[in-house]
Amino acid sequence: MSPLAAARTQMAVSLGFHMIFAAVGMALPLMMLVAERRWIRYQDRDALALARVWSRLTAVLFAIGAVSGTALSFELGLLWPRFMAFAGPFIGTAFALEGYAFFVEAIFLGLYLYGWDRLTPRAHWLCGWAVAVSGALSGILVLSTNAWMQEPVGFRVAPDGSLVDLDVWRALFNPAWPLMAAHSTLSTYEAVGFAAAGVYAWALLRGRRPQQAARHRAGLRIALLIGGAAAIAQPFLGDLLGRRAYERQPAKLAAMEGQFLTERGAPLRLGGWPDEESRETRYGVEIPGLLSLMLEGRLDAEVAGLDRFPREDWPNVPVTHLAFQAMVGAGTILFIVATWHALWRWRRRGEGADAVPPRLLLKALVVSAPLGFLALEAGWVVTEVGRQPWVVYGHLRTADAVTPVGSVWGSLLIFSLVYALLLAILAAFLWRFSREGNAAT
């Protein structure tokens, strides 16, 4: 395995695992706050029990996320020294601010965990808000770095190839950041919300502990309040991101859609396998003109295909296209289920908290439970693989940024074992969380 292939594989494994930890650590505190607010306002003991369980899980995920995030910071220096030499002045500010957010989260998480029955209810709840906000800010600040890699700004390349006129604040507040941060943050709420909803829907379907049904209904309601709202908002943000990719990274958009040829009235493809040799996408369902309409507002608008770009500047088209299809497919299902649940809640609004969703809806929620994380992971595959062959778009190729050391496979093995161990720990605690949600201990 070449150093480049090993380094890219290691980053894919590490980021794939870390995203699970980070997503739960960002979204679960918000669910915890909603549950505690219900306890404070209505003295709902089921909501209090949920807040306590979720706070313990938040602590576990915070610890695991800290380990996985630290490992990632080492990997950047070990695997991508030339990238760090190029990008260090621009991404350092975001990482420093993220460190402050991390410490604020750690401080207030400690106060929240040990403040039960020691702080006033309002003070305790406000500590939880500090945890939720700082946790979200950590992810948002890190997104500034990735957004800058997608649309690098804040410097000028001199004739000799050196970087001049460096503006780190412009790099931090780069134009791609707001939209990417909003989309990514909502994706964590969507993934965690639907995963938790699936746990409580399963508990309601089994019905083995009828005395705990109220707690399961409360957990389901809170999880879908967060996850459902995110799922309904995501298609609109996703459309904006697609349009931005079309304007700023047209090769990525062409790979996402399997669009090999520049043409007017470009179709929207559902499914299909992109064949890079024959330059066509086979076996997909095509809706004539819809891609042109979505991107340009006209059925006959011209859409640039991959034929507009040198072959060496293409991303991996099959991976990018299939990941995009998986993300959109999973997101569409979640949108439908979230809308279904919202309409059911609206029609049964007079029944209050005692209303139980119909079994068909509960089954749909169980099936949908992993789809949020599938969409989250697939979306990041689209983002990262679709940017290739660039690590800093248009300025630094991934092959030029990797370490020249030839023994990267050893690092890949060690870090893969570390992340496998962390994933096993997470799975154990999620299983315990599921049992506590069902048994209501």
Structure token pair of residue 226? 């967060």
The strand pairing partners of 157, in sequence order, are: 163
- Cβ distance 363 to 205 under 8 Å? yes
pLDDT of residue 320: 96
pLDDT band at 435 (very low <50, low <70, confident <90, very high): low
Contact (CB, 8 A) for 365 and 337: yes
pLDDT reported for residue 367: 96
Residue 441: per-residue pLDDT:
41
Residue 327: pLDDT above 70?
Answer: yes
β-strands 263-264, 302-303 pairing: antiparallel
Query: Residue 201, exposed/middle/buried by CB under 10 A (0-12, 13-18, 19+)?
Result: buried
Nearest Cα residue to 327 out of 365, 373, 268, 367: 373
Confidence of residue 12 (pLDDT cuts 50, 70, 90): confident
pTM: 0.91
pLDDT recorded at residue 79: 87
**Residue 309: per-residue pLDDT:** 94
Considering only CA atoms, which of 72, 74, 78, 69 is closest in space to residue 101? 69
Burial class (CB in 10 A: 0-12, 13-18, 19+), 178: middle
Residue 208, pLDDT score: 62
Chain centre distance of CA 32: 20
Angle, CA 153 vertex, CA 148 and CA 157 arms, to 5°? 125
pLDDT tens, position by position, 196-253: 999 899 989 987 666 678 888 899 999 999 999 999 999 999 999 999 999 999 999 9
Helix (H) or strand (E) holding 249: none
Average pLDDT for 294-309: 92
Alpha helices per DSSP H over 43-80: 45-79
Kind plus residue range of the DSSP H or E element containing 271: none
> Which of 219-228, 232-241, 271-280, 408-417 comes out lowest in average pLDDT?
408-417
